[in-house]
Amino acid sequence: MKKLYYVMAMLIVASMILAACGTPATEAPAATEAPAASATEAPAAAVTQEDCAKPEVFCVGLVSDVGKVNDKSFNQSAWEGVQQAQADGVADLVQFIETSDAKDYAKNISTFADSGFDVIVTVGFGLGEATLAAGLQYPDVKFIGVDQFQAWQYTDDKADDSANVTGLNFPEDQAGFLVGALAAMQSKSHKIGAVCGTDVVPPVWRYGEGYKAGAAYADGMNSTTTEVFVVYHSDVGFDKTFTDPEWGAQTAKSMMDQGADAIFGCGGVTGNGAITAAAQAGKYAIGVDADQYLTLPEAAPRMLSSAMKLITPGVAQLIAAAKDGTIVAGNFTGTAGYAPYHDMDGEVSADVKAAMEAINAGLLDGSIKTNVSPAKP
């Protein structure tokens, strides 16, 4: 039944409030350091994984999908949310496991659950089914699934065994729309591109199609015609689609050879390859998930903006809610937007800045619609 609910997500998700991607390893969970003790206090005993079974010790584990926690975008943002929970005094111990093979999803989740962890954050669409199954197996553990829409919430059979699973979702189509409009307004060649991970993952699809829609909207405003190249890396498996910077760079170069002067990378390390290639070629680079001006220094000088979903505060907020008992099962919609122009600020005119603010306001109040499907038809 869980699998049925998960498959139904692709159809039922249209009723959600519209909210790439995550990666592999096999090492044991890596613990962060405990906060340093005050100079006026006796040093506190370090919290270890063995302490997680104690009621007074609050432990949070993160399991990645096909992406590492230093990918400078999706997974890193989620891990920073877990670390933020520790910095805020919510979590006593935080650890992560990077998955190397999809068959290890359940094993990696169980590693934390069997050790007495209170909250387990699973990152990525691909972990959705394993997360729901773990919710049934471990009813006393709270699960937060990043980019995992909980379709069961919209069926007649609202299974009690899902009462400990919360999906953290985002309106990626709106973030993609914003940077697509920006790219179209900034482009001198009227040709722009997007290099993305697989379109099988709904958030990636929403980013790419939102980018197209945003460019079309800007064209309508300014009576221009922009050619938009969007390529999804759907020709490989999940173990490769988000971890292929060479393909990303080559695809971006192909777009630039056709005249594209702005490149959006929406696909983990694959997208990073495209963004870096664009920056090195002196074109506009556009990041994803986080403000990649801050995380991808090799592309920062040419980073026009980033399509952002605020994963870090979303994860931290849900962990805090899990601890104080206010977390709600089902779906939690986070916030999306676009990053500052940083070094490119001087190249963005006042008219474009005003237009971007108006578009963002319209998306937020619903007066502007992206008309992007929740998932690939």
Q: Counting beta carbons within 10 angstroms of the beta carbon of residue 26, is it exposed (0 to 12), middle (13 to 18) or buried (19 or more)? A: exposed
**Bridge partners of residue 119, in order along the sequence:** 60, 142
DSSP-assigned beta bridge partners for residue 61: 95, 120
* Beta-strand pair 93-98/262-266: unpaired
- The pLDDT value given to residue 28: 40
The percent of residues in the chain predicted with pLDDT above 90, rounded, is: 80
User: In DSSP terms, which residues pair with 64 in a beta bridge?
Assistant: 98, 123
* Average pLDDT over every residue of 324-349: 96
Helix (H, G, I), strand (E, B) or coil at 324: helix
Q: In terms of DSSP bridges, do strands 59-64 and 93-98 run parallel, antiparallel, or are they unpaired? A: parallel
Tell me, what's the pLDDT at 34?
Answer: 37
State the chain's mean pLDDT as an integer: 88
CB 372, CB 336: distance < 8 Å: no
What is the tens place of the pLDDT at every residue in 218-261? Answer: 999 999 999 999 999 999 998 899 999 999 999 999 999 999 99
Short-list 295, 274, 289, CA closest to 196: 274
- Per-residue confidence at 158, pLDDT binned at 50, 70, 90? low
Q: What local confidence, expressed as pLDDT, does residue 308 receive?
A: 96
Q: Is residue 73 scored above 80 in pLDDT?
A: yes
pLDDT of amino acid 67: 77
pLDDT band at residue 192 using 50, 70 and 90 as cut-offs: very high
Neighbours of 377 (CB within 10 A): 6
The domain spans of the chain are: 2-34+46-170+314-319+327-333, 173-309+341-365
SS3 79: helix
Quick one: pLDDT at residue 5? Answer: 38
CATH topology match: 2-34+46-170+314-319+327-333 vs 173-309+341-365: yes
CA 366/CA 244 separation, integer angstroms: 36
**pLDDT, tens digit (0-9, with 9 covering 90-100), for 17-61:** 333 333 333 334 444 433 333 344 444 568 999 999 999 999 999
b/e string for 281-305 if b means 16 or more Cβ within 10 A? bebbbbbbbbbbbebbeebbebbbb
Residue 369 pLDDT more than 60?
A: yes
CA–CA separation, 132 and 137 (whole Å): 9
**Structure token pair of residue 282:** 């002196």
Residue 32 burial by Cβ neighbours in a 10 Å radius (0-12, 13-18, 19+) = middle
Q: Answer whether CATH 3.40.50.300 is correct for domain 173-309+341-365.
A: no
* Class in CATH terms, 2-34+46-170+314-319+327-333: alpha beta
Which stretches of 282-322 are assigned E, i.e. beta strand? 284-289, 303-309
pLDDT at 351: 98
Contact between 34 and 87 (Cβ < 8 Å)? no
pLDDT at 149: 92
